[in-house]
Amino acid sequence: MRVTRGLLFACLALVVCAVPASANSVCVSENFASMGGTSCSVGGMTFSFNGTTSLGGGWTSSSLFFTPTANGFTLNFLGGPQSIAANNGCCGQQDVFDELGLEFNVTAPQGLFLSGVGVSSAAHIGATGPFALAFGGVITQSTAGGAGHYITCTPTCQTVSADYAANQPFSSTATVDAEVFDLIASQGTAFWDGAPATFTFALDNSNVPEPGSFALLGVGLLGLLAFTTKRLLA
């Protein structure tokens, strides 16, 4: 039986799909001022950085130093410890802010899914007074779950930890906002000591073929392609 060209093209497509797609350039340690609007990879994940956001402090992307780590990155704030104080009553109309966040998208490698995020930091944060709030490293707005910790006083101070994985089905792409620090006060004080925070991203690899399986599939399809080509040329 003669093999058609359509089958050959199908075999070629399967071989290409069996090989992982090429990644962006690997992320390197650098001041974040040069990273806005760019993409790079960490551990197979692709990060596309949209820039920074700031309230109150007037901070910019040059205020951050970016360091890639295993499955994520560390953000070092170059402005040092921060504190705010206000005596404006309650609530919301005359709040004092000091905040810096990083906006970015993260895409999982082909065939994998984001299954959660984490934040680790040795930062000391605090808030006093009836209406004050302090964040020291937190992930928000993520379809891959979130993590972090903060202290709120309204009026009794308490420490709140957020550490939860994504709900299934997991998303392979997530828009994420990493809050390096966020201080808010309308009546009271809030502070953060400036320690760096590391943001990590977990991947779900259930029901995903191992790299060896992809390699064997590719070899087998290449063999089939060679055999059918020889038949056609004979």
Q: What is the predicted pLDDT for the residue at 110?
A: 86
Domain extent listing, the chain: 29-206
- Average pLDDT score, the chain: 75
**pLDDT at 128 > cutoff 60:** yes
* DSSP 3-state of 12: helix
217's tokens = 């599939």
Q: To 10 degrees, what angle do helices 211-233 and 5-18 make?
A: 160
Which stretch of 86-100, 121-135, 143-157 has the lowest confidence by average pLDDT? 143-157
What's the token pair of residue 61? Answer: 């992307």
Q: Which residue reads 């000091």 in tokens?
A: 98
Please state, in angstroms and rounded to a whole number, the distance separating the CA atoms of residues 166 and 39: 24
Tell me the whole-structure pTM to 2 decimals. Answer: 0.72
Work out the angle at residue 149's Cα, subtended by the Cα atoms of residues 33 and 49, and round it to the nearest 5 degrees.
25
The confidence score (pLDDT) of residue 69 equals 95
**pLDDT exceeds cutoff 80 at 13:** no
Looking at the predicted structure, is the pLDDT value of residue 29 above 90? yes
Per residue in 174-197, pLDDT (tens digit) is 888 888 999 999 889 999 999 999
- 58-89, pLDDT tens digit by residue? 999 999 999 999 999 999 999 999 999 998 87
How far from 212 is each of 18, 20, 109, CA to CA, in Å? 11, 12, 16
d(CA 78, CA 24): 27
Most confident of 42-51, 139-148, 160-169: 42-51
pLDDT of residue 19: 41
